[in-house]
Amino acid sequence: MRFSKFSSLIAGFIFLMTSYTAMSEPNIGADELSAFGNINSDNFSLYYSDDTLSGQINGVLVFGTPLETGSGITLQYRMPGQTLKSTFKVAGGKLTGTIKNVTVNITKFNGNAGTLEGTVGDISFKVAITSQTTSGEEYVNPRFDVTLPNRSFSFQLDGGQACITCSSRIIAVVLGMLKATDDL
């Protein structure tokens, strides 16, 4: 079932605010709320802040948080009638996880060049990450140019920043969920 863009934005906003409010301090300031980055595309609308990702991809509500130990992300997502959970972990120099029987492997990370390479299911991909500026090792407002064998597309994190590791988590969730919902 696909949501309209407006319904998706509303659902993502409600999900984000409910999730964030449940985990936040009671006296959240306006300056903290402005730290949310936005990622928008025809097929997804996401919020990103403090290594946490929330919103919708092809009408599927998603909520990803960094692992408490080690490097990776825990993703919860709502498919019709069920809430599912996936974990992506960095081991042996690659980020690996599975979303609804779709395995995502990011096998090459190059922070200096701003590139990622890997597979989603049986499809190989390359990602070029660019930004006009950096803050330490963080790309500020990074743009992600995704190249697949049969198509290319781009999206940008507006109003936020992410390092190469955090960028790999965003890519793993986006590509994995697009493939899991038959959109790659």
pLDDT of residue 120: 98
pLDDT of residue 20: 45
pLDDT of residue 136: 87
Other C-beta atoms within 10 Å of 118: how many? 22
pLDDT of residue 175: 97
The beta-strand segments (E) located in the chain are 37-40, 44-49, 52-57, 60-66, 72-79, 82-91, 94-99, 102-110, 115-120, 123-130, 133-135, 138-140, 143-147, 152-158, 161-162
> Could you give the 3-state DSSP secondary structure of residue 20?
helix
pLDDT of residue 4: 52
Q: Which of 103, 108, 97 is nearest to 122 (CA)?
A: 103
pLDDT of residue 18: 44
| Strand ranges across the sheet with 133-135 | 133-135, 138-140, 161-162
Q: What is the mean pLDDT of each run of 10 residues along the chain (184 residues)?
A: 49 48 39 70 94 95 94 94 95 94 96 96 97 90 97 96 94 96 92
The token pair that represents 111 in the structure block = 């922070």
The tally of CA atoms less than 13 A away on the side-chain side of residue 127 is 30
